[in-house]
Amino acid sequence: MEGGIMVKHHHKLLPFILLFTFLSPLFTSAENAEIIVGPYLQGIGEEGITIMWRTNIKTEENTVFWGKTVELENEVAGESNVEWHEVRIDGLEPSTHYFYKIESDGAESQIYSFYIPPTDNFTFLVYGDTRGVWDGWRNASIVAKVIEKENASIVIHAGDIVRNGGNEEQWLKFFQISSWMHNKSIYPAVGNHDLPIHNFVLFFSLPGNERWYSFDYGNVHFTFLDSNRLQNLSQFLWLIKDISTESKWKVVIFHHPPLISGNHYPPPMMKIWMLIFYLAGVDAVFAGHQHYYQHLKAGNIHCIITGGGGAPPEDAGWSPWNIFSASAFHYCKVMVNEEEMRIVSIDAEGNVLENFVIS
């Protein structure tokens, strides 16, 4: 009798058992963690560096393993329950190579390396206007591959990283094509296409308020401005104080060019900026916005437009203050020591467009 009851009971539950068996994976399986961006480097200094990355889900156990050998004898734990990860490593030494990898809930990167250069003799790169949506990021990828081969530890971006700053997919694509960011620290300026600002400040870890900021490396003082906010009083007052540094070399970076050839005239506030730069002894100003390379000079200030990072190319105009122009995908290589600052513009095929020295 009992056996008959049990058989009848299972017969009634059979459809529910089959349904539960079919649906249970949908409720019980957790999505595996994956690293979808990075790791990439930020905030290189004489004694430390910041490592960032993005996972597809929030992860609990996040760690950077690092050291002077591939044994990676040190580790630093990151924050839990986040998708965007940021870990600072301190106690580094100049003129030293380091190796590192990241791990988030079992997902780990390969081993990468970075170099802390000597502070009195180092190289940095500058380029801008990568926003490669128009050609599927083809030319931006080509420029990024050439940059990856350069022996430099700092890369400066002059703005317009993406076409639409509110589109997260475009930002992710920029990081994914920029494999040089595994071993070089990026410092960007805000371009007009990078707005609204929320993704910019989320994806980067920068000094100050992250829209205008500065830092020193060796004998160079780098000042970044937000040229989308020319009339901002807070930025103006900050600039006057910041640019009064006694550093050997002074380099200023922002998106919209202060000088330009052709029928373009800078707004009055940009002329005031240039007067401040002149009085403070600024050596070089890097900008983007125009999609070509151009070297202009006002007084003792060299103005370099480097907007050839992948955006649709444009023809450069001409004016009396124009020293050199080229319509080409390119980047600039800047080699600094105590005696001189050498600036070399290089196209995507590796050809030198211009080579000059500020001494």
- How many structural domains comprise the chain? 2
Alpha helices for the chain (secondary structure H): 2-28, 138-148, 168-177, 198-203, 233-242, 268-280
Query: What does the alpha-carbon distance between residue 72 and residue 68 come to, in Å, rounded to a whole number?
Result: 7
> Same structural domain for residues 111 and 159?
no
Token pair of 192 as six digits: 């007009």
CA-based torsion, 68, 53, 216, 304: positive or negative: positive
Token pair of 195 as six digits: 């707005």
The predicted structure's pLDDT at residue 98: 97
Which value, in Å, is the radius of gyration of the alpha carbons in the chain? 25
The predicted structure's pLDDT at residue 12: 54
Residue 291 maps to which CATH number? 3.60.21.10
Q: What is the mean pLDDT of residues 187-216?
A: 96
> Same structural domain for residues 238 and 137?
yes
Whether the CB-CB separation of 274 and 258 falls below 8 Å is answered with yes
Confidence band for 217, pLDDT divided at 50, 70 and 90 = very high
* Domain membership flag for residue 30: no
Residues sharing a CB contact under 8 Å with residue 6, sequence separation 6 or more, in sequence order = none
> Same structural domain for residues 75 and 207?
no
The predicted structure's pLDDT at residue 18: 47
Confidence band for 5, pLDDT divided at 50, 70 and 90 = very low
> Same structural domain for residues 271 and 162?
yes
Query: What does the alpha-carbon distance between residue 225 and residue 212 come to, in Å, rounded to a whole number?
Result: 5
Residue 75 maps to which CATH number? 2.60.40.10
pLDDT tens by residue, 28-74:
345 899 999 999 999 998 889 999 999 999 999 999 999 999 999 99
> Same structural domain for residues 248 and 139?
yes
Domain boundary among 96, 116, 136: 116
Residue that the structure tokens 């591959």 belong to: 145
Q: What is the mean pLDDT of residues 251-277?
A: 85
* Domain membership flag for residue 127: yes
Distances (CA, A) of 141 to 176, 178, 288: 9, 7, 18
Confidence band for 359, pLDDT divided at 50, 70 and 90 = confident
Name the pTM for this structure. 0.89
> Same structural domain for residues 148 and 69?
no
CA-based torsion, 305, 311, 313, 317: positive or negative: negative
The predicted structure's pLDDT at residue 263: 54
pLDDT reading at 19 higher than 60: no
Strand partners, 216: 221
pLDDT tens by residue, 148-174:
999 999 999 999 999 999 999 999 999
Length of the chain: 359
Q: In 3D, which of 221, 86, 110, 94 has the Cα closest to residue 153? A: 94
> Same structural domain for residues 112 and 243?
no
The predicted structure's pLDDT at residue 2: 42
Q: In 3D, which of 160, 319, 316, 123 has the Cα closest to residue 253? A: 160
DSSP-assigned letters across all residues of 55-121:
EEEEES-EEEEEESSTT--EEEE--SSEEEEEEEEE---TTEEEEEEEEETTEE---EEEEE--TTS
> Same structural domain for residues 200 and 111?
no
Confidence band for 91, pLDDT divided at 50, 70 and 90 = very high
Name the residue range of residue 78's domain. 35-116
